[in-house]
Structure 1
Amino acid sequence: MYSPPATTLPTALRALPQHYGPFRTQGAHIDDAGVRFSVWAPNAGQVCLIGSFNGWQPQPMQREGDGSGRWRLHVPQARHGDLYKYRVRDQHGNEVDKADPYATRSEPAPGNASQVWALDYAWGDAAWMAERGRRQALDQPMSVYEVHLGSWQRREDGHFLGYAEIGQRLAAHCQALGFTHVELMPLAEHPFYGSWGYQTSGYYAPTSRYGTPQELMQLVDTLHQHGIGVIFDWVGSHFPSDSHALARFDGTALYEHEDPRRGFHPQWNSLIFNYSRYEVRDFLVGNVLFWLAYYHFDAVRVDAVSSMLYLDFARSAGEWLANEQGGHENWEAVQFLQQLNRAVYAAFPDVHMIAEESTAWAGVSRPVHSGGLGFGMKWNMGWMNDTLRYFERPHIHRRWHEGEIRFSAAYAFNENFVLALSHDEVVYGKGSLLARQPGDEWQRFAGLRLLYGYMWAHPGKKLLFMGGEFGQEREWHHERALDWQLWQRPLHAGVARWVRDLNRALREHPALHARDFESAGFEWAPLEGHHPTVLAFLRHGAGESVLVLCNFTPEPVPRLRVGLPLAGRWREILNGDAAIYGGSGMGNLGGVEAQRQPLAHMPASAQLALPPLCALVLCHADAGN
């Protein structure tokens, strides 16, 4: 069997076990004498190759004699850029033309053929890659800008921008606002643009809507050269039933389950991977390793992990099958996720695996050897739901819902959490984050700044969906670009300045990031008197402490005494009510003096003014910059 020379593989893949790299031999591989094609279709009666190199006339492929179920053919006249498909005949004589599951490029829509494509690229990000492990350590700041490439910006005629154009613009935008990472919503090829990429058909091919594989590499390279990491959004939970893709690939349920109670997802009208098949597990594990190796992605966000873990996820009675113990846990998926995370961290110890998981499953971001799933981080969906529910409440009602805004501190260190205000929170009638704030225009903008200030000061890494950084007014829609003209309005520009300054403070003050995942890095600060709509807490890290105060009503608190661990000058480093952000300008003239006047368990205290709908952050003058 043909294998490409080890020197053509990215370094991290050369020592991989053979079964973790099925893309090495399957798919279309260019050699000096043409192109070698290989496809897995064990139950097919016949497989033929059709393509632009043979006039789309079927050329029979040979079944491998090793029992692997693979078919192969070498085509001397095939070249880089040629289109092709596999014509698969099942055991009953039915024929379907299939795209190559391992194709590295797909034909631009509306076509769906695969394309022979070499992945050569001269990377210029050596400095980033050498420093990636340090820059992405768990004690470093992480602020993620989530982007849907088709609707972030567009050309004047409404057409998509290309990967390379977007890369230059994204780099400038994120560098100006201080984001450390960009998360790209799914870019693997998908037949329906309106799925936002979450219905993947070509797992090894970046969507051709925005350009070539090399142009996507250029996008990543550009961001890296500007000091910005890139996160790949990956869907390993389900896939669409389009006839040209993975569904019943050889006439049987090859990648999915035969029984719809295991193999069909009613919520998304899609098919579920059969994690009990080692070939399917290797296809998926190899896919993540492929994107990390060939495209230099720095992290992978795994979509819909909850739907993988539970057999009854989004199903009614009679629509699912229990496991052997009679429970609803999908132990095959658990083993797959553990295998995936072990393989990724073994090959790329300086990347992150991040789970979108919305339940209380224990140990999602804990090591496999201690019974966890092995992810590095997990989205904190509980924090998101409680926080947005609280912020949507009229200000006058918030005093009765103090627990909603405080509850996250009770479990903030059970996992390595990412606080995510993602695309899911600004679609399907939910409205934009700005539109969900109560009150008049000034109060809505102040409330949005307060939401971000509270989020950036809260333990955990940060993620914000595009448009949120300048207060997008309309709900997001994938068919239109963001309303960039809003930057011309002072209140919107003020939100952007606030996000920029939050990111700067996050980077410059270790107390705000160094111990995001340690309970010792957080404690409540005592207040004199009961203030149900005021939060006061301290963040500690690297010898520094900062005080965070949040006022969740439009009523200022002109004299608030708070307990502190140190006497002396506490400098105001962030004030969301400052005039430059669109606030009323109330503050403490740059800081306050804490006296050796104990309050509760604290040896010192200070009296200060807390502005309306404001997040205030102060740092002891002997620490920080």
Structure 2
Amino acid sequence: MNQEEVSVAFQELIDGHSYNPHRCLGFHPEDKVIRFYRPDASQMFIEVKGNIVETKKVHEAGFFEYSIDESLQSHDYRIFHSNGLLSYDPYSFFPTIGELDFYLFSSGTHYQAYKILGANFAEQEGIKGIRFAVWAPSAKSISVVSDFNNWDGRVNPMRSLGSSGIWELFIPDLPEGIKYKFEIRTADNSLLIKSDPYAFASELRPSNASIIANIENFNWTDKVWLEKRIKNKGVSPLLIYEVHLGSWKKNDGQFMNYKELAKELVSYCTHMGFTHVELLPIQEHPLDESWGYQVTGFFAVTSRYGTPKDFQWFVNYLHNHNIGVILDWVPGHFPADDFSLSRFDGTALYEHADPKKGWHPHWHTYIFNYGRLEVKNFLIANALFWFDLMHIDGLRVDAVASMLYLDYGRENGEWIPNHFGGKENLEAIEFLKHLNSIIHQKFPGTYMIAEESTSFPKVTMSVEEGGLGFDLKWNMGWMNDTLRYFSKEGIHRKYHHDDLTFGLIYAFSEKFISVLSHDEVVHGKKSLLAKMPGDVWQQFANVRLLYSYMICQPGKKLLFMGGEIGQWNEWACKGEMEWFLLQFPIHHSLQTMIKDINHFYQNYPALWENDSSYQSFEWIDFNDRDNSVISYLRKGKKQCLLCVHHFTPNFYSDYFIPLKNVEEIREVFNTDEERYSGSGKNNLSIERVKDGINILGIKIQLAPLATMIFEVTFTNLSN
């Protein structure tokens, strides 16, 4: 560089809009000089071949030079950072990201973008350090600001890598645990201080700096589990315990660490018979009251409960004790916090620029621009990250309906139709198909689950068959109909009988999970127990009936924490599960019943084999609305169960069920047992009703507000 070019480069750095600081700074043997920028410093020392030497100040703004000869190599000298850290010069290295990475990222198919962008441990020219990289195509300049440079955006400007929109800087010798952010100068010269979208760790709220973390050196020991889940998917029971880690259990009112929680959850889930936990979002989020659904750190586990390695330990421990881990995942929107993704480089980068597509009126959050390939890449790489480096077993995708429809939560005139004139968000639909396809390709044996509340077709059909490609869908219709029915007094339930039977019309149109989720025990909806009518005995009997009814229905199962112990109060995210209730026999007996029927479910394949097929279910009587009773068969390959549900508090000593050709029958579960605080109306013997030699049905004791399950064999294949 001639002196005029150097002067121009100096001024660009002073003004804060240099797109290539390496052109001027660092090791330049062609000019026989090393250049440094230390704003406001009066003098600067460096180490050259082990000796401390002083550099020459050549500009009052803080530019220094050190003259060299041909014998000096780029790694023969080191610099002192503002905090005293001695390291190699960041401006003596070539770019660390290649053309293939640019191509894949801009095409939306860089499935390991988290290993390129963010703050990754790397080795360049034999030197170890941190590669900082961030996508911000409209920025005028970007700097790394951190502990090590006193948060001074002038000290470590980054290099723009052509038309990719990616800015990069390799800084050697930085240790794990360093806090950092990106200082972004926008096109209008505004300065933004942003957390890293790809950061693996973050400060505990209310602070929000990103933290350097090495997450690729954890010693996993769950190989057997990972191999087993491929074989077991779809042919094993799935019984999910939905958990909010911050309010499940605490230590003297304080959050427990991921490791502590792992041990407690394994013990509890194994005892209670749950096969998986589903965690409300554990990605970093600033607001406790959002429950984790307003994510600011998509690649970072929340520091409320520990470090990324602590969470890896959590997953590894659960896997080694045969408990799967599913995470709630929120690709539908992100909060407007100014330190996060919103208008990241001064423009609508991750969100749509038009608020009719980019702003969610209900949640006051931004909506991702699914048509922008780099944004789609961010989300797909994020999902893959949790499977790849955190070994999770599934993602439950939150608020899918809000993604599928352009008019979701909007009035006429507040949304923009697609290019066919319809309300479907075609870009989001394509994103979901791409997402599910690549996850199933790269991580077979895992689950993609949709929380989808509309009648959008083929949610769980494969992409090849024209579907969205999810494995399972929350059955919101069943949940709403069932809870509405259970809120009625027993005497009135006969007028709402269709709420029980309607769900079976569409029960096999998708692969469903029946859910009693967190959404139903907040915001004035009451706890499961408090929703139930009648006196206290009837309320507990109703909860036993509700849960056992769910267990018997087709589909997988999910229960939110607290329901199993009969909490009276709604869930409070800043509180703790009301474990003290278990000292009262009626609460303890409810928990015992749920434990027993969970293990019963696992041990009776008729309840889970092929449960998304109509062949696994057969109505016996769905029309006894006067007595509020339904009965049906659940069929496995080698087993058949008769399920009878009685939804009133009346008792009938000889209730007839039309069940022909019964060869053998015995009661194998009854929620009215005395040890469950029931009335003890068991069926120790069952009368078979005959017409001559033909068996027409059976007579049973019909326990009040109870589920009765019978194992049945027939004299021939049809009953």
Provide the residue aligned with 2:356 in structure 1: 261
**Structure 2 vs 1, CA of residues 561 and 154 (structure 1 numbering), >3 Å: closer, same or farther?**
same
Pick 1 or 2: higher relative contact order, CA cutoff 8 A, min separation 6: 1
- Which of 631, 640, 647 is the equivalent residue of 1:545? 640
Query: What is the alpha-carbon distance in structure 2 between the residues aligned to residue 184 and residue 79 of structure 1?
Result: 31
Provide the residue aligned with 1:588 in structure 2: 683
Pair 1:38 & 2:129 matched: no
- Which of 212, 226, 245 is the equivalent residue of 1:149? 245
Query: What is the alpha-carbon distance in structure 2 between the residues aligned to residue 622 and residue 362 of structure 1?
Result: 37
Secondary structure of the corresponding residue to residue 67 of structure 1: helix
Provide the residue aligned with 1:130 in structure 2: 227
The 5-angstrom pairing of residues 108-119 of structure 1 reads: 108-119=204-215
| Residue 565 (structure 1) shift | 5.3
Query: What is the alpha-carbon distance in structure 2 between the residues aligned to residue 110 and residue 278 of structure 1?
Result: 32
Deviations 1:440-479 (A, max 9, x none): 0000000000001110000010000000111111110101
Secondary structure of the corresponding residue to residue 456 of structure 2: coil
Provide the residue aligned with 2:515 in structure 1: 420
Query: Does the 8 A contact of 1:527 with 1:562 survive in 2?
Result: no
| Residue 337 (structure 1) shift | 0.3
- Which of 107, 110, 130 is the equivalent residue of 1:19? 110
Deviations 1:359-387 (A, max 9, x none): 00000000111111000000000000000
Q: Structure 1 stretch 470-479 or stretch 374-383: which is displaced more?
A: 470-479
Query: What is the alpha-carbon distance in structure 2 between the residues aligned to residue 621 and residue 336 of structure 1?
Result: 48
Provide the residue aligned with 2:500 in structure 1: 405
**Structure 2 vs 1, CA of residues 208 and 438 (structure 1 numbering), >3 Å: closer, same or farther?**
same
Query: What is the alpha-carbon distance in structure 1 between the residues aligned to residue 691 and residue 432 of structure 2?
Result: 53
Query: Does the 8 A contact of 2:120 with 2:132 survive in 1?
Result: yes
Structural RMSD (CA): 2.0
Pair 1:106 & 2:197 matched: no
Query: Does the 8 A contact of 1:598 with 1:605 survive in 2?
Result: no
| Residue 406 (structure 1) shift | 0.8
Query: What is the alpha-carbon distance in structure 2 between the residues aligned to residue 597 and residue 240 of structure 1?
Result: 68
Aligned partner of 1:519: which letter?
Y
Query: What is the alpha-carbon distance in structure 2 between the residues aligned to residue 197 and residue 91 of structure 1?
Result: 33
| Residue 566 (structure 1) shift | 4.3
Secondary structure of the corresponding residue to residue 184 of structure 2: strand
| Residue 577 (structure 1) shift | 0.3
Query: What is the alpha-carbon distance in structure 1 between the residues aligned to residue 564 and residue 672 of structure 2?
Result: 17
Deviations 1:227-276 (A, max 9, x none): 11110110000000101000000000000011111100010010000000
Secondary structure of the corresponding residue to residue 221 of structure 1: helix
Provide the residue aligned with 2:189 in structure 1: 93
Query: Does the 8 A contact of 1:21 with 1:282 survive in 2?
Result: no
What TM-score do the two structures reach when normalised by structure 1?
0.94
Query: What is the alpha-carbon distance in structure 1 between the residues aligned to residue 375 and residue 343 of structure 2?
Result: 13
Query: What is the alpha-carbon distance in structure 2 between the residues aligned to residue 557 and residue 281 of structure 1?
Result: 59
- Which of 329, 333, 339 is the equivalent residue of 2:434? 339
Query: What is the alpha-carbon distance in structure 2 between the residues aligned to residue 184 and residue 528 of structure 1?
Result: 39
Provide the residue aligned with 2:707 in structure 1: 615
Query: Does the 8 A contact of 1:273 with 1:280 survive in 2?
Result: yes
Query: What is the alpha-carbon distance in structure 1 between the residues aligned to residue 690 and residue 209 of structure 2?
Result: 74
Q: Structure 1 stretch 18-27 or stretch 92-101: which is displaced more?
A: 18-27
Pair 1:296 & 2:387 matched: no
Provide the residue aligned with 1:456 in structure 2: 551
**Structure 2: tracts of 5 or more residues without a match:** 1-94, 99-106
The 5-angstrom pairing of residues 460-539 of structure 1 reads: 460-526=555-621, 531-539=626-634
Q: Structure 1 stretch 421-430 or stretch 561-570: which is displaced more?
A: 561-570
Aligned partner of 2:199: which letter?
A
What is the aligned length? 607
Secondary structure of the corresponding residue to residue 297 of structure 1: coil
- Which of 62, 66, 69 is the equivalent residue of 2:165? 69
What TM-score do the two structures reach when normalised by structure 2?
0.82
Query: What is the alpha-carbon distance in structure 2 between the residues aligned to residue 475 and residue 410 of structure 1?
Result: 32
Provide the residue aligned with 2:57 in structure 1: none
| Residue 593 (structure 1) shift | 5.0
**Structure 1: tracts of 5 or more residues without a match:** 5-15
Query: Does the 8 A contact of 2:144 with 2:158 survive in 1?
Result: no
* Percentage of identical aligned residues: 45
Provide the residue aligned with 1:252 in structure 2: 347
Secondary structure of the corresponding residue to residue 148 of structure 2: coil
| Residue 608 (structure 1) shift | 0.8
Deviations 1:262-309 (A, max 9, x none): 100010010000000000011000000000111111011000000000
Secondary structure of the corresponding residue to residue 255 of structure 2: coil
- Which of 337, 360, 364 is the equivalent residue of 1:242? 337
Secondary structure of the corresponding residue to residue 149 of structure 2: coil
**Structure 2 vs 1, CA of residues 555 and 25 (structure 1 numbering), >3 Å: closer, same or farther?**
same
